[in-house]
């Protein structure tokens, strides 16, 4: 029920294709990123801390996008350079929900399938399709990957907001880095030549 309220948020539904990666391969990938069960613990600890700060985080992230024409272009009509505000608003709702999903760290087939979907929605395969957006039709892999820093680096003060000791904040921060890098890795799959992923 919680999930149905957000338009286009198709996590756990059959609108989403099966991930080309198996859960066994995902287990392997986690090891490549030094991601352990402890990281799951610290991600889950962050859920409650971040819950009432999601809008502020979105402001920070959106701020970086809107400060830079090459990133803002992904929310603009390529002909008029006008921001498609309806589109950006619809995407922002799902982006907010993603913070919660990342913190919950529930890694099952539905999660894996939705990672594939998120990748496709950045790629020309599905960009603009979910919200009938009128914007540039493809986010470059380089921007998708580099944006990991923009997502995670500003999070530290948000994670520290409840006064946890610095070493605990660091653990949460590291867990977020690992999770975001791992997710971006899964998301770039459609960008990579067949057989090379
Ligand atoms: C969609 C996160 C990089 C622009 C999304 C969604 C999430 C997300 C959670 C919504 C997926 C859904 O439909 O449920 C992230 C993260 C990134 C990243 C964590 C980096 C690590 C970027 C970059 C841009 C961007 C660099 C461009 C400035 C968009 C746009 C959509 C989108 C335009 C909507 C795509 C569509 O469905 O048409 N992103 N994103 N994202 N993101 Fe990103």
The position carrying tokens 């400060």 is 67
pLDDT of residue 130: 98
Is 196 contained in some domain? no
Q: What is the 3-state secondary structure (H, E, C) of the chain?
A: CCCCCCCCCCCCCCCCCCCCCCHHHHHHHHHHCCCCHHHHHHHHHHHHHHHCCHHHHHHHHHHHHHHCHHHHHHHECCCCCCECHHHHHHHHHHHHHHHHHHHHCCCCHHHHHHHHHHHHHHCCCCCCCCCCCCCCCCCCHHHHHHHHHHHHHHHHHHHHCCCCCHHHHHHHHHHHHHHHHHHHHHHCHHHCCCCCC
Closest residue by Cα to atom 27, ligand 1, is 71
Summarize pLDDT for 42-64 with one digit per residue, the tens: 999 999 999 999 999 999 999 99
Pocket test for ligand 1, best of 60, 86, 95 (most atoms within 8 A of CB): 95
- When divided into structural domains, the chain yields a total of 1
Is 3 contained in some domain? no
> Which residues sit with their C-beta closer than 6 Å to ligand 1?
8-9, 65, 71, 74-75, 91, 94-95, 98, 118, 121-122, 127-128, 130, 133, 139, 143-144, 147-148, 151, 180, 184
Summarize pLDDT for 163-197 with one digit per residue, the tens: 999 999 999 999 999 999 999 999 999 999 999 99
Q: Whole domain around residue 105: which residue ranges?
A: 23-191
Ligand 1: centre distance to CA 122 (Å): 6
Q: Tell me, what's the ipTM?
A: 0.96
Summarize pLDDT for 108-164 with one digit per residue, the tens: 999 999 999 999 999 999 999 999 999 999 999 999 999 999 999 999 999 999 999
Tell me the CATH number at 72.
1.10.490.10
Percent of the chain clearing pLDDT 90 (strictly above): 97
């Amino acid at each position: 029920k919680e999930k149905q309220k957000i338009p286009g948020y198709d996590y756990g539904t059959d609108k989403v294709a099966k991930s080309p990666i198996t859960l066994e391969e995902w287990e392997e990938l986690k090891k490549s990123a030094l991601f352990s069960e402890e990281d799951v613990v610290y991600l889950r600890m962050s859920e409650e801390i971040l819950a009432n700060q999601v809008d502020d985080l979105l402001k920070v992230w959106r701020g970086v996008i809107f400060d830079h024409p090459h990133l803002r272009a992904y929310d603009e009509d390529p002909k008029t350079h006008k921001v498609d505000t309806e589109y950006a608003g619809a995407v922002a709702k799902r982006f907010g929900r993603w913070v919660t999903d990342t913190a919950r760290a529930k890694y099952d087939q539905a999660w894996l399938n939705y990672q594939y979907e998120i990748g496709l929605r950045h790629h020309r395969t599905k960009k603009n399709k979910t919200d009938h957006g009128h914007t540039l039709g493809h986010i470059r892999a380089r921007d998708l990957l580099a944006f990991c820093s923009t997502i995670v680096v500003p999070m530290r003060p948000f994670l520290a907001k409840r006064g946890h000791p610095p070493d605990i904040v660091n653990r949460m921060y590291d867990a977020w880095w690992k999770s975001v890098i791992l997710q971006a890795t899964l998301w770039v799959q459609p960008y990579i030549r067949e057989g090379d992923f």
